[in-house]
Structure 1
């Protein structure tokens, strides 16, 4: 009996892994279907944003940020993952009702697909980041091996929020436009193109409640400085992200009965 249970669990994991892989592949294909440049948009859009930021904040406003090109590019692509993942996750249930309503279909996999496909876009930009670092006459250190830790933390944070927004959008269809507005505002409340040290001291505690502050700082520390300067802050964000993912999954599972009523 126990052996059969283990075998069934193993088969279930294999099925879910294969399903995740195929759904991610489908998602990536749909995103670029019918476009001329295809996957090149993944690399082109961050460069367009970088050009605008460089003109505005480096040349016109002359923001004092060292190695601004790499600094801003890391912020743009990391926040881009966060933003695109949530924008897709919020409709991952409502736009896939044919799959969701199938008997025994693992509905919680849909937000995972959204976060994973966006994460792949983010990872594919790393060669460009490394090239920019080298062109700026700096070298990469072995600390880049720590990047998967930070990526994992951001994955869990984004997934937890994706679960929450997805189920809310099934019940309350205004969730998506509200989320889009929030993500645009949050872009400027996160250190995408400016140094967090520019925030007045009396507001630092409030500003640091944003988990992306620690996540973006860690990416930059690892790539630009070969270290993580604030492990304690990153550890707190890691625990909070895991809790967020767990709570989001539990909420999604508990409320999934609404799919039959609302979809």
Structure 2
């Protein structure tokens, strides 16, 4: 794969540049929306949710922002990755290039926006009274895992979307439900031990929980927590590349 990347590295860089700039084309603030948009979402959610869900949660602004930025990156990355092949069908049908590069470029474009938002998250966390320790460097692990998870799921979704275009609408409903199942704006401590363990079956909750434990609790999750995240990543990555290998030559017939 590395040899193929070197061969098509220029194309990949151009795809990332195109996807990122296209997102803010003809907007007054341009890349500024990468920072302003999550801040406005945070403001709205804080005003609406503080009264109902902030009871007993210290540093609720940081708590809410951590869940919001992780979920938004997951949602944006996988949703854009899902349509990556269909949107570039004109190129794919004429030029023999690795099709997964289009999904990768969508993810990297979303990753750039996410990293900009993470910087803002650190600033707001500091203003919220959060003290940072060396453990903050451990956030590299969930970020890398989340990138790989989004790529793997994007590969699965883009392959399925090529054959089943209704998936786009079904997935938007799924992500809406997933947001409520990922404890983005509430604490699960009020639930029973069994219910709390069920949350661990949700990969997005794991990523959000990791962020909160490092930043707010300044504790590193257990080895089992890490292994569970790695398992989720491996499952979607294997599934994504399997579908591409199996249906690679069938995509052209459905564009």
In structure 2, how many angstroms separate the alpha carbons of the residues matched to 1:196 and 1:152? 25
Identify the residue that residue 227 of structure 1 maps to in structure 2.
Answer: 219
- Is 1:99 equivalent to 2:91 in the alignment? yes
Which ranges of structure 2 fall in alignment gaps of 5 or more residues? none
- Is 1:68 equivalent to 2:52 in the alignment? no
* Superposed counterparts of 1:188-203, under 5 Å: 188-203=180-195
- Structure possessing the higher radius of gyration over alpha carbons: 1
In structure 1, how many angstroms separate the alpha carbons of the residues matched to 2:156 and 2:117? 28
Match of 2:231 among 236, 239, 243: 239
Match of 2:196 among 181, 201, 204: 204
In structure 1, how many angstroms separate the alpha carbons of the residues matched to 2:44 and 2:220? 29
Change (3 A) 1:144 1:202: closer
Identify the residue that residue 5 of structure 1 maps to in structure 2.
Answer: none
Change (3 A) 1:61 1:211: closer
Identify the residue that residue 23 of structure 1 maps to in structure 2.
Answer: 15
In structure 1, how many angstroms separate the alpha carbons of the residues matched to 2:235 and 2:108? 19
* Per-residue CA distance 1:58-98 (angstroms, 9 max, x = gap): 23554322111111111111100000011101100011002
Count of matched residue positions in the alignment of Structure 1 and Structure 2: 255
Runs of at least 4 residues of structure 1 off by over 6 A? Answer: none
Change (3 A) 1:11 1:86: closer
Identify the residue that residue 82 of structure 2 maps to in structure 1.
Answer: 90
What RMSD in Å do the two structures reach over aligned CA positions? Answer: 1.8
* Superposed counterparts of 1:151-230, under 5 Å: 151-230=143-222
Change (3 A) 1:28 1:241: same
- Is 1:254 equivalent to 2:231 in the alignment? no
* Per-residue CA distance 1:89-144 (angstroms, 9 max, x = gap): 11000110022223421101111111221111111112211111221233211122
- Is 1:12 equivalent to 2:4 in the alignment? yes
Q: Is residue 115–residue 155 contact of structure 1 (8 Å, CA) maintained in 2? A: yes
Higher RCO, 1 vs 2 (CA within 8 Å, ≥6 residues apart): 2
Q: Any idea what SS the aligned residue of 1:93 has?
A: helix
Identify the residue that residue 4 of structure 1 maps to in structure 2.
Answer: none
Q: Give the superposition deviation at 1:261.
A: 0.8
Change (3 A) 1:197 1:10: closer
Q: Is residue 89–residue 163 contact of structure 1 (8 Å, CA) maintained in 2? A: yes
Which ranges of structure 1 fall in alignment gaps of 5 or more residues? 1-8
TM-score normalised to structure 2 length: 0.93
